[in-house]
Amino acid sequence: MSGYSVFPVTGLPELGKGDDLAAMILECVELEDGDIVVVAQKAISKIEGRIVRLDDIEPSEQAREIAGDEEDPRRIEAILREAKSIVRIRPPLVICETHDGFICASAGVDASNTTEPDTLILLPVDSDASAAVLRDTLNERSEREVGVIVTDSFGRPWRQGTIDVAIGAAGIVVLQDMRGQQDSVGHELRSTVIAVADEIASAAQLVAGKLDRIPVTIVRGLDLRGDGRAQEIPVPAERDLFR
């Protein structure tokens, strides 16, 4: 393999509930076999209608307590509803496990880049399923075989700044297992499972940009077709040293 390229899908319109994202992508780009179509979570959430109005949320006592004077308790309430468990709280920061097992700030609930003011965008209910639907539609209409990754920007312990990671995937390798392969001097590689889907998400973020409204990026030239799902990524709670 000599290398790969990453480029944005430009020309997409603003997205709304019920939009046919596959059709929009195919109008903007000619896909090739093996392409990885990387889609920001917000694009999926918008077309799936995962948007709530702050005015429709009645905050609980717990939400008011966490919010204190600094935060909107309705926003905290939305976060608590999206959370399976709370991992850490340092008000107003709330780090949660989402219902599908990802640990992130605010359970992925986000206010920025919404098309309407006073609304919140929630994560897709099942990002692997969302990725699979998009992938199947793209494959069928383009007669190509592509992979799809749904991404979000997560902070992480110990290191400042966010990086984009995979929260949904279809048609590609997610965790690349190198265990048992021998390296160049015959040592067995240990603990070498590479989270390639997360690395692809990060590679895509570098062109997608937060301010440019470019929610779809193409990664071309990596041969990583497979049948991974982002649900493979979370560390099972009983093996997790950092909850």
State which of positions 27-46 bind a second copy (CB under 8 A).
none
Q: How far apart are CA 174 and CA 182, in angstroms?
A: 21
- 23 interacts with a second copy by CB under 8 A: no
Name the strands in the sheet holding 83-90, side by side, starting at the edge strand that comes first in the sequence. 83-90, 93-98, 103-105
Sole binder of a second copy in the list 94, 107, 203, 216 (CB under 8 A): 203
Burial of 80 (0-12, 13-18, 19+ CB in 10 A): middle
Token pair belonging to 63: 């939400």
- Region of 27-35, 127-135, 142-150, 227-235 interacting with a second copy (CB under 8 A): 227-235
Q: Which is nearer to a second copy, 139 or 217 (CB)?
A: 217
Q: How far apart are CA 153 and CA 210, in angstroms?
A: 10
Sole binder of a second copy in the list 206, 215, 216, 226 (CB under 8 A): 206
User: Is the Cβ–Cβ distance between 146 and 37 less than 8 Å?
Assistant: yes
- 155 interacts with a second copy by CB under 8 A: yes
- Residue 127 CB: number of other CB atoms within 10 A? 31
Burial of 161 (0-12, 13-18, 19+ CB in 10 A): exposed
- Region of 53-61, 76-84, 135-143, 234-242 interacting with a second copy (CB under 8 A): 234-242
- 142 interacts with a second copy by CB under 8 A: no
Q: How far apart are CA 114 and CA 202, in angstroms?
A: 22
Sole binder of a second copy in the list 144, 176, 225, 226 (CB under 8 A): 176
User: Is the Cβ–Cβ distance between 75 and 52 less than 8 Å?
Assistant: no
- 146 interacts with a second copy by CB under 8 A: no
Q: Which is nearer to a second copy, 4 or 133 (CB)?
A: 4
- 194 interacts with a second copy by CB under 8 A: yes
Q: Which is nearer to a second copy, 140 or 156 (CB)?
A: 156
Within residues 71-100, the interface with a second copy by CB under 8 A covers: 88, 90, 95
- 11 interacts with a second copy by CB under 8 A: no
- 55 interacts with a second copy by CB under 8 A: no
